[in-house]
Structure 1
Amino acid sequence: MSIEENYILGAIAIGIGATLVMDLWNLFLKRTFSIPSLNYCLLGRWLRHMPGGTFRHASITAAPQKTFECTVGWIAHYTIGVVFALVFVVLTSGDWLARPTLLPALLYGIGTVVFPFFIMQPSFGLGIAASRTPKPMQARLKSLVTHTVFGGGLYVCALCVSYALRVHV
């Protein structure tokens, strides 16, 4: 296997792992503080409405349910995490993957919060940066912290991948 293939497979593993870390964080918040996470079935519903030409909803929860929306939502959630990781590894080069550092991963994780703020939340009917939610600042802070945790997950998972690459290269 070439070094480039190792980096791609490593980035995929990092994306899956960082998304899992984010999900574990959200599970912790839900069980410990009763803070709910995004229902990924709603992500699936949004995506399943797109082939019919509907990209924005007044309220995604009021939109008609679609078949397989939960499956589509969870697959999309992990696919997005993998794509974010692939982009990050491309931007930082294989050097970061070989010797991960925390700060770039955290900053990148924080940067990914623009996607829910300016794409998903408005498309779900929640307004830009959750401005139409009952507690916008709380929703923004939760998104920011969750994406920071994703960045931390990128770093932790990259440590594991870099170790595996050193052992198998």
Structure 2
Amino acid sequence: MILVADCSALVALSVCGSLNLLEQLFASVVVPETVYLEATQPDKKQAQALKTFLQGKVRQVNLEAYVFLDAYADAGETEAMLLYKQLAADKLLIDDKRGRKVAKINQISTIGSLGVLLVAKEKGLIVEVAPLLQQIEQSDIYLSPDLIATVLELAGESCNH
């Protein structure tokens, strides 16, 4: 299975030390160059970890190949969606709500960073989701209380974290 990744979801997985799960769940993980440049900016806290993880995973995107229905996705998200189409990928890793809407309009199958954690638990790659959620929460990434409760419920874990 091919996974094309966007920046914000990669950062969330990096924050909780879970980038390796992507390689365990997907045969191939790739990003467009715009996402790579965004993720590895020197001012980003996770830049070095992402630079190491993304080595050899950057792909060029043919921007002229598609007419795309784009309702407010940023450049990285748009390129990730184009790369998904170019490669006939299986999943797009994306957390941004607006970006996910654009993906849905364009018949792109998505998974978020928390969805990756749930699948990893289901497959026995991790024991608990809650400690990883806490690490993400302690960074500057916002997770709504409702989202946290839903993820913990789906993981079969209590909400008392």
Instruction: Give yes or no for TM over 0.5.
Output: no
- The answer to which structure has the higher strand fraction is 2
Task: Report which of the two structures shows the higher radius of gyration computed on alpha carbons.
Answer: 1
- The answer to which structure has the higher helix fraction is 1
TM-score normalised by length of structure 1: 0.24
Does 1 or 2 have the higher relative contact order (CA < 8 Å, sep 6+)? 1
